[in-house]
Every structure is written in C-alpha cells, then in structure tokens.
Amino acid sequence: GQQLNQSPQSMFIQEGEDVSMNCTSSSIFNTWLWYKQDPGEGPVLLIALYKAGELTSNGRLTAQFGITRKDSFLNISASIPSDVGIYFCAGQLNSGGSNYKLTFGKGTLLTVNP
C-alpha cells in the first residue's frame, strides 16, 4: 500500500518558537489533511488541502500541498503550551466512485516547554 513518511518523529521546543513538520509520499494524493491529537483524545482535523500548490492557514497554522502532489508541510508559528500533542498528516485518494482511501503518517510528537 501507499507509504507516508512523516518527519520529524518528535520535537522539543521552547514556547514562542516556530515549528515545521512535513510528509512525503511514494505516490500522489488528491487531498492532504493535517490532524492534531491531544493527550487522551482522538485526532481532530486542523487543515484540509485540495489543490497542488495550495497554501492554507488556520490561525497560527499554515499548511501547503506540494506541487508534485506527493508532499505537504505544516508550520506552527509562535508556539504555545497548548500546541502539545501528536500531529498527523494524511493523504486521501479518490480511487473511483465513493471509495476514498485515507492513509496516515506515523505522527510528530510535539512538546512545548513554557
């Protein structure tokens, strides 16, 4: 099946620093998604990207859909303690009809030191 390589695996940063993480794929996707998982909870959608080259922001978060359709990155500016959690990328491919195959990266664990 499709493989998503997400990096880095973990990050330890100081409050106020900017953060960058990315995902690369062995094949193309129609949609890139970024989720955040707070401790003890299920993942929640942060940003959805639908077109190659698209750059989308959600508050302090910015994500881009790579031109090749095989990669995406997520930036968090001016990090705060509540940014702590696991961030997942996911690629979605509509392989025909209503069969949307969703593949997740392995996650980036973010720790923010106050």
Partner 1 sequence: EAQVTQNPRYLITVTGKKLTVTCSQNMNHEYMSWYRQDPGLGLRQIYYSMNVEATDKGDVPEGYKVSRKEKRNFPLILESPSPNQTSLYFCASSLMGLGEKLFFGSGTQLSVL
Question: Residues interacting with partner 1, by CB under 8 A?
Answer: 1, 6, 9, 31, 33, 40-45, 48, 88, 90, 92, 98-100, 102, 104-107
User: Which residue, 40 or 59, is less far from partner 1 as judged by CB?
Assistant: 40
Specify which residues 113 forms β-bridges with.
14
1 versus 59: smaller Cβ distance to partner 1: 1
| Residue 11 beta carbon to partner 1: minimum distance, rounded to whole angstroms | 15
CB of 100 to partner 1, least distance (A): 4
At position 46, the amino acid (one-letter code) is L
Token code pair at residue 44: 């929640």
Q: How far is the CB of 108 from partner 1 (least distance, A)?
A: 10
Residue listed under structure tokens 């330890």: 12
Among 67, 106, 75, 110, residue whose Cα is nearest residue 90: 106
- Judged by CB, which is closer to partner 1: 12, or 114? 12
DSSP string computed for 46-88: EEEE-STT-EEEETTEEEEE-TTSSEEEEEE-S--GGG-EEEE
Q: What's the closest the beta carbon of residue 106 comes to partner 1, in angstroms?
A: 4
